[in-house]
Amino acid sequence: MPRPDMLQPATLDDALRALAKRGAVPLAGATDLIPAMLKGEAAPKILVNLKGISALDGIRRARGGVRIGALTRVADLLRDDLCAEHAPLLVDVAREFASPQIRSLATIGGNLCNAAPSADFALPLLVLDARVASAGPEGAREMPIEEFFRGVNKTALRRGEILTAIAIPKRRPRTGTAWAKLGVRRAMDLAFVGVAAAIQLAPNMEKCRSARIALGAVAPIPMRARKAEAVLEGKAITNELIEEAAAAAAAESRPITDLRASKEYRREMTEVLTRRAVREAIRQARKEQSK
C-alpha cells in the first residue's frame, strides 16, 4: 500500500484548503481510518491531520448548554465537569467505549463521521437533541444530528467539509437519561443492538411530558423511534405503557441478519433494551427531582 502524504494544518482555514486537494482525507483519532487502510478499505492519497487545530478541541459552556469540539477525545468526556452536568449520558457511554488506549485517541467527531449504524455516541446525542456544526468551502452551517446520518458510513457532510462541533442544549428539568447496549462483551465490541432514552416527566412526576428514544445497529442509520416516543408522551406512566412503547420501538426497527446476529434476535432485543432504558430514564428523572 503506497504511503499517503501527510499535511498538518494549524488552522481550520488551512485544513479546508488542504482538503480541497484530490484524494485528501481528514485524520482525527485514526482509530477507524487506520484499520480501514490496513484492510485495503481506504486508500487516501493525502492525510490532513486535524489534531493541531485547537479551535476544534475542548468542551465549553454555550447558550445555557454545552458545545463539544469535534476533536475532543472520548477520554476527555470522562474528566469534564461541564459534560457531567449537562450531558451525563455521554459520560456513561464514554465509560464503556472501547478500551482506555482507544479512548485516549478516539474523538467524538470521528465516531460520528464514521457513521456506523452502531456508532456509540450517535444514540445519546439523538436523545439529547444535539446539533452538529460544520465548516467547508461554502461556509459554516448547523443541522440537527438526526439529519447528519444519510446511510451506512455516509453523512450529510459535503466534499471538503469538516465537522467542527456538537452543541447540546440546556438540560430540561425533571429529565432522566439512560443507555443500554447489547454485545458479546461490555466494551471493546460493536453493539448488536443499542438503545438510548431521555424522558422528561410532568410536574406531577406521574406523566411523561416528552420522550426521546434512539436505536442503534437495527437500521442503516442510528434512528429515532418516533412512534415509541408518541406512545409515552402525555400519558400516565404505567408498566403497560412502557411495554407498549418497547413493542412500538421494536416494530419501527429495521434490522438485518449478519454474522453477528439475526434480524429476529435484534428486533426482540430492541424491545427488551427499550423497556430497560425507558424504565431507567424514568427512575433517573425521579431521582434527580428528589435531590
CA distance 36 to 115: 14
Return the minimum-mean-pLDDT range out of 41-50, 70-79, 162-171.
Answer: 41-50
Based on the fold, state whether residues 195 and 264 are members of the same structural domain: yes
> Which of 143, 168, 193 is a domain's end point?
168
Based on the fold, state whether residues 206 and 271 are members of the same structural domain: yes
Quick one: average pLDDT of 153-178?
97
Total domains, the chain: 3
**CATH assignment of the domain containing 13:** 3.30.43.10
Q: How many CA atoms lie within 13 A of 160 on its CB side?
A: 14
**Residue 220 CB: number of other CB atoms within 10 A?**
15
Based on the fold, state whether residues 180 and 266 are members of the same structural domain: yes
Residue-wise pLDDT tens digits, 10-63:
999 999 999 999 999 999 988 888 888 888 888 899 999 999 999 999 999 998
Based on the fold, state whether residues 157 and 82 are members of the same structural domain: yes
Quick one: average pLDDT of 232-245?
98
**CATH assignment of the domain containing 236:** 3.30.390.50
Grid coordinates representing 64 are 445555557
Based on the fold, state whether residues 242 and 273 are members of the same structural domain: yes
Instruction: Give which of 147, 98, 140 is closest to 125, Cα–Cα.
Output: 147
The b/e string for 125-161 (b: 16+ C-beta within 10 A; e otherwise) is: bbbbbbbbbbbbeeeeeeeebbebbeeebebbbeebb
pLDDT at 286: 96
Based on the fold, state whether residues 181 and 282 are members of the same structural domain: yes
Based on the fold, state whether residues 107 and 128 are members of the same structural domain: yes
Residue-range definition of the domain harbouring residue 136: 57-168
Quick one: average pLDDT of 200-214?
97
Based on the fold, state whether residues 139 and 191 are members of the same structural domain: no
Residue-wise pLDDT tens digits, 93-129:
999 998 899 999 999 999 999 999 999 999 999 999 9
Instruction: Give which of 57, 45, 46, 47 is closest to 11, Cα–Cα.
Output: 57
**CATH assignment of the domain containing 64:** 3.30.465.10
CA distance 59 to 285: 25
**Inter-residue contact 213 to 240 (CB < 8 Å):** no
User: Maximum Cα–Cα distance for the chain, whole Å?
Assistant: 64
> Which of 127, 146, 168 is a domain's end point?
168
Instruction: Indicate the pLDDT class of residue 1, thresholds 50, 70 and 90.
Output: low
Grid coordinates representing 90 are 455521554
**Residue 173 CB: number of other CB atoms within 10 A?**
12
> Which of 153, 168, 183 is a domain's end point?
168
Based on the fold, state whether residues 180 and 285 are members of the same structural domain: yes
Q: Which residue has the cell 467539509?
A: 161
**Inter-residue contact 221 to 147 (CB < 8 Å):** no
Is the pLDDT score of 231 beyond 90? Answer: yes
**Inter-residue contact 81 to 101 (CB < 8 Å):** no
Between 289 and 223, the higher pLDDT residue: 223
Please give the share of the chain, as a percent, with pLDDT higher than 90.
87
